[in-house]
Structure 1
Amino acid sequence: MSGNNGAGLVRPSVQALKPYVPGEQPQGAGWIKLNTNENWFVSPSVLSAVLAAATHDLRRYPDPVCTDLRVKLSARYGIDSQQIICGNGSDELLTMLIRAIAGEGDRIAFTDPSYSLYETLSHIQNAAPVPVPLGDGWQLPVQELVAVNAPLTFITTPHAPSGTAYRLSDLEAIAAGCAGVVVFDEAYVDFGGDTAIPLLDRYPNVVVLRTMSKAFGLAGMRLGYAFGSRELIGALYRIKDSYNVDLLTQVAGCAALDAWDEYARVNHETAVRRDRVAAELHRRFGWRVWPSATNFILVEVDDADASEIVTRLKTEQILVRYFPRPRLEQSMRISVGSDAEMDLLLAALDKVVG
Structure 2
Amino acid sequence: MPSSPLPQLALPHIASLHAYTPGLQPTEPGWVKLNTNECPYPPSPRVAEALRQEIGADGSSLRLYPNPKSGPLRAAVARLHGLREENVCIGNGSDDILNLLVRLFCSPAAAAGFLFPSYSLYPVLVAIQDGRSEVIEFDRSMRLPFEKIAASTAKAFFLTSPNAPTGVAFANADLERMLATFRGLLVVDEAYVPFAQENAVPLLARYPNLVIVRTLSKAYALAGIRVGYALAQPELIGLLDRVRDSYNVNRLSQAAALAALGDPAYYDALIAKVKATRDANLARFAGPRGWFTYPSQANFIFTEPKNTRGESGPAVAQSAYDFLCRRKVLVRHFPSHALTASFLRITVGTDGEMSALNESLDAWLKSPLA
TM-score by length of 1: 0.96
Q: 8 Å contact 1:85–1:237 — kept in the other structure?
A: yes
* 1:125-204 matches, cutoff 5 A: 125-204=129-208
**What's the counterpart of residue 323 of structure 1?**
334
**Matched residue SS, 2:118:** coil
**Matched residue SS, 2:236:** helix
**What's the counterpart of residue 111 of structure 2?**
107
Q: 8 Å contact 1:37–1:335 — kept in the other structure?
A: yes
Look up the equivalent residue of 2:50 and give its one-letter code.
A
Look up the equivalent residue of 1:340 and give its one-letter code.
G
**Matched residue SS, 1:193:** coil
Look up the equivalent residue of 2:319 and give its one-letter code.
E
Q: Distance in 1 between matches of 2:183 and 2:230?
A: 20
Question: Any gaps of 5 or more consecutive residues in structure 1?
Answer: none
**What's the counterpart of residue 281 of structure 2?**
277
**What's the counterpart of residue 77 of structure 2?**
73
Of residues 280-289 and 189-198 in structure 1, the stretch that sits farther from structure 2 once superposed is 280-289
Look up the equivalent residue of 1:307 and give its one-letter code.
Q
Of residues 262-271 and 222-231 in structure 1, the stretch that sits farther from structure 2 once superposed is 262-271
Tell me: CA distance 1:2–1:324, structure 2 relative to 1, closer, same or farther (3 Å): closer
Q: Distance in 2 between matches of 1:47 and 1:105?
A: 46
Look up the equivalent residue of 2:353 and give its one-letter code.
E
Look up the equivalent residue of 2:53 and give its one-letter code.
A
**Matched residue SS, 1:285:** coil
Q: Deviations along 1:61-103, whole A, 9 cap, x unmatched?
A: 1101111111111111111101100001000111100111222
Tell me: CA distance 1:16–1:252, structure 2 relative to 1, closer, same or farther (3 Å): same
Q: Distance in 1 between matches of 2:82 and 2:4?
A: 57
Per the TM alignment, residue 8 of structure 1 is displaced from its structure 2 partner at its CA by: 2.2
Equivalent position to 1:344, from 356, 359, 362: 356
Q: Deviations along 1:115-163, whole A, 9 cap, x unmatched?
A: 1111111111121111111233111112211111310100101111111
Give identity over the alignment, percent.
39
Q: 8 Å contact 1:158–1:193 — kept in the other structure?
A: no
**What's the counterpart of residue 52 of structure 1?**
53
Q: 8 Å contact 2:185–2:210 — kept in the other structure?
A: yes
Q: Distance in 2 between matches of 1:148 and 1:79?
A: 30
Equivalent position to 1:222, from 221, 226, 239: 226
Per the TM alignment, residue 28 of structure 1 is displaced from its structure 2 partner at its CA by: 1.8
Q: Distance in 2 between matches of 1:125 and 1:180?
A: 19
**What's the counterpart of residue 207 of structure 1?**
211
Of residues 344-353 and 203-212 in structure 1, the stretch that sits farther from structure 2 once superposed is 344-353
How many residue pairs get matched? Answer: 354
TM-score by length of 2: 0.92
Q: Distance in 1 between matches of 2:355 and 2:4?
A: 56
Look up the equivalent residue of 2:47 and give its one-letter code.
V
* 1:236-275 matches, cutoff 5 A: 236-275=240-279
Q: 8 Å contact 2:106–2:112 — kept in the other structure?
A: yes
**Matched residue SS, 2:332:** coil
Q: Distance in 1 between matches of 2:106 and 2:234?
A: 19
Q: Distance in 2 between matches of 1:86 and 1:3?
A: 42
Per the TM alignment, residue 3 of structure 1 is displaced from its structure 2 partner at its CA by: 6.3
Q: Distance in 2 between matches of 1:102 and 1:262?
A: 39
Q: Distance in 2 between matches of 1:19 and 1:250?
A: 28
Q: Distance in 2 between matches of 1:286 and 1:197?
A: 36
Of residues 5-14 and 56-65 in structure 1, the stretch that sits farther from structure 2 once superposed is 5-14
Per the TM alignment, residue 286 of structure 1 is displaced from its structure 2 partner at its CA by: 2.2
Of residues 128-137 and 62-71 in structure 1, the stretch that sits farther from structure 2 once superposed is 128-137
Q: 8 Å contact 1:301–1:330 — kept in the other structure?
A: yes
Q: 8 Å contact 1:62–1:243 — kept in the other structure?
A: yes
Of residues 185-194 and 127-136 in structure 1, the stretch that sits farther from structure 2 once superposed is 127-136
Q: Distance in 2 between matches of 1:193 and 1:151?
A: 29
Q: Distance in 2 between matches of 1:81 and 1:149?
A: 31
Q: Are 2:33 and 1:21 equivalent residues in the alignment? A: no
Look up the equivalent residue of 1:194 and give its one-letter code.
E
Q: 8 Å contact 1:310–1:322 — kept in the other structure?
A: yes
Look up the equivalent residue of 1:341 and give its one-letter code.
E
Q: Distance in 2 between matches of 1:49 and 1:87?
A: 19
Q: Distance in 2 between matches of 1:87 and 1:226?
A: 8
Per the TM alignment, residue 2 of structure 1 is displaced from its structure 2 partner at its CA by: 7.6
**Matched residue SS, 1:194:** coil
Q: Distance in 1 between matches of 2:354 and 2:2?
A: 57
Q: Distance in 2 between matches of 1:64 and 1:201?
A: 27
Aligned CA-pair RMSD: 1.5
